[in-house]
A and B are shown apart, each in its own frame.
Chain A
Amino acid sequence: MNDPSPIAAVSKPDALRSAITDARARGDAILDIYRTDRDLRAAILKPGERTVYEPKLGSGPFIRPSHYGVLGFFALEVDDARADWWASEYPVDRVSGRGIHVMPLGPVRADVAESLRYVLTVFGDDIHHVRLVPGYKHRHVEAAIVRQGVRRAIRVAERVTGTSPVAHAWAYAMAVEEALHISVPVAALRERTCLAELERLMSHLGDLAVLAASTGTVTAAADLLTLKEMVLRFNQAAFGHRYLRDRLEVGGGSPRQVEKQALLSFVAEVEREFRQVRRALDRTNSFLDRLHGAGKLPTGDPLGLRLTGFVGKSSGHASDLRWDRTYGTYGDLTQDLNPVHVDAPDAFGRYLVRAEEIRQSLTILKRLEGLPPEEPVPGREGRFGSGVGFGLVEAPRGRLFYRVAVRGMDVTAVRIATPSSLNWPAVPVALAAHNILQDFPIIDASFSLSVAGLDL
């Protein structure tokens, strides 16, 4: 197999850094820095070298002797590969060489998927390099939040990512409450905790269903989807919305008490059913074999990725805000529990973390009912003024951050860092590490990131 001919390739990050510094000093353009199986590479464009990205003269069909099977070992054929296979709309970060070509995928993809373009550089079945092209569903979420008032903007925050509205609403509310010094009654915090854990349950069950379907384990996928539908119906019955929207309010609102017996019997049923599905999955070799080693992330963080959520927990970045920066009522609920940590930075590890987190969420939901009745301290309405607050919440996919600036009843500025936007940069790295195209859906499903969280 031909080695892709990079424009600058070094095996050590320090050497690459100095090469980039030199190139910048010379006035060259750095097109991309990327990682292959063996080394880090930078695509550097020198001002005079435009021909690098254009097919050489005389490379048309049936001119070279190699087309007739003669003198094929001449390296000149590399140019043919470029001329034939390289589409003109992808001028940057090309990995070129004999037989290497680009496979664009998206934004319209198979089945039900969000709009995102993957530019896959492949050699036969081997994935060599991946570039993500977001921007198809940029919705100006931050602008939409700013033009609403403080209280109504929480409804927009719920619509940033449809599958984790509670985490977004809570992070927004937390930021506003910090900015305006509003204290929230314990009953409201308990309701938020309950909603957040139900949402984590729903999100993880749906993710695992997609993962099971991507490996062809359709029975487990059907069971997991049914379990997810069970959670959604419980949400509808207990809180009035399948995705738990329109419940959270800045300052607490009017929390709804779930009937204790209904919650406990629901949790017991989900626990029983999920244990069966998990047991079956853990014994299905065709499922496990596809996950082991697929989409392996480098350990030791050579790229400076700050991974979070289940991706981080399986690759040595274990952090969970429910323990690290306790909020809501998690302090009492998670005292003797430990955040899930798995030492397998591949698709299997990401599966295992979520399976364990489902169990943990069910435990937390059970404990939520065992808490002593809250002391009757009403929520204190803060002074309306101006201020800046931060909201940090552990969403189903990881750390979610909101920074909100408030003046009077208006939101003047908001910045959102979603867990998906933190984890998406790891997807090309995981895809281009000894994987073939058949692994693509599995690795994609094992990350199960939302494009809506990337294209804010």
Chain B
Amino acid sequence: MFYRRWLYHFIRRPAVSPYPFRPDPAALARPGQIVTTTRQFGRSLAVRHVDGGSSNGCESELALLGSPVYDWSRFGFGFTPSPRHADLLLVTGIITEAMVPHIRETYDAMPEPKLVVAVGGCAGGEPGYFAGLPGVVGDLGEVVPVAARIPGCPPSPNDILAVLLAVVEAPAARRAGGRLP
């Protein structure tokens, strides 16, 4: 039985996803190379995601960043399960009061230097239909210092990737002012 499989794989290669599969022209406009060569972050960037009350749309788009179509790992990005290893915090959703302590705790657990990016219009201070409801903070900037905001409902993976690249490549002084993008 083993040799049957062995022969089968010898004759026909096992299935793999061709890379890059159906590439997105906007995402592939820049060469796939490690971009984070600044002294602050080295050559890889660990990202931690926290849901601050989203509708699940931003999560769906964030999950696609790892797909072969966008493949953000070619730039050195990757999700990390622990905030202790994270350089960058992505927060989605209208910020609910119940999530504020958890976002703050996650931020405090991250080592310096660290960045926070608000994904989606809701976290970026435009909660739209949810503005002013009880228990809705509506702006991530009131909870933790935000380096960049990505508008959109939900923002496409292209937009997210573009802003993340801009944030990481920006000089530290501009980044600290929160004037990106």
Contact = CB atoms under 8 A, between A and B. Distances in A.
A363 B82 CA distance: 43
B139 to A, nearest CB: 15
B55 interface: yes
27 contacts: A108-B48, A108-B50, A111-B49, A112-B79, A113-B49, A114-B51, A137-B96, A137-B98, A138-B53, A138-B135, A139-B94, A139-B130, A140-B130, A140-B133, A143-B133, A144-B130, A144-B133, A161-B56, A163-B60, A210-B63, A225-B63, A225-B66, A229-B64, A230-B22, A276-B15, A451-B51, A455-B53
Contacts of B16: 219
Interface string A225-247: 11011101000000000110100
Q: Sorted from nearest, which 9 A-B pairs have the closest CB atoms? A: A162-B57, A225-B67, A162-B55, A137-B53, A110-B81, A162-B56, A222-B17, A115-B51, A452-B56
B135 to A, nearest CB: 7
Nearest to B67: A225
Nearest to A245: B153
Given A108-B102, A243-B57, A206 B63 contact: yes
B136 interface: yes
A229 B98 CA distance: 33
Q: Majority SS of interface residues in chain A?
A: loop
B130 A163 contact: no
B61 to A, nearest CB: 8
Interface string B75-103: 00001010100000000011010110010
A148 B156 CA distance: 27
Given A115-B52, A137-B54, A243 B59 contact: no
Nearest to A155: B129
B72 to A, nearest CB: 12
A135 B102 CA distance: 13
Contacts of A148: 129
A156 B135 CA distance: 17
Interface in B125-157: 128-130, 133-136, 153-154, 156
B54 A114 contact: yes
Nearest to A106: B102
Interface string A144-167: 100010000001100111110100
A242 B54 contact: no
Contacts of B129: 144, 148, 155-156, 159
Contacts of B48: 108
Interface residues of B, number: 47
Contacts of A112: 49, 59, 62-63, 79
Contacts of B105: 108
A452 B60 CA distance: 12
Interface size range of chain A in the complex: 35 or more
A280 interface: yes
B17 A115 contact: no
Contacts of B68: 222, 225-226
Contacts of A232: 64
A232 B62 CA distance: 14
B106 to A, nearest CB: 5
A107 interface: yes
B21 interface: yes
Given A108-B50, A162-B55, A280-B15, A229 B22 contact: yes
Interface of A: 107-108, 110-115, 135-140, 143-144, 148, 155-156, 159-163, 165, 206, 209-210, 219, 222-223, 225-226, 228-230, 232, 242-243, 245, 276, 280, 450-452, 455
A33 B156 CA distance: 44
B158 to A, nearest CB: 11
Contact of A136 (B53, B57, B67): B53
Nearest to A157: B129
Contacts of A160: 55
Contacts of A280: 15
B58 interface: yes
A165 B54 CA distance: 13
Contacts of A113: 49, 51, 59
B88 to A, nearest CB: 14
B34 interface: no
Contacts of B64: 225, 228-229, 232
A452 B55 contact: yes
Contacts of B93: 137
B180 interface: no
Contacts of B52: 115, 137
Nearest to B14: A219
Given A115-B51, A210-B63, A242-B154, 8 more contacts: A108-B48, A112-B62, A137-B51, A143-B134, A162-B55, A219-B15, A222-B17, A226-B68
A226 B106 CA distance: 31
Nearest to B105: A108
Contact of B81 (A111, A140, A206, A226): A111
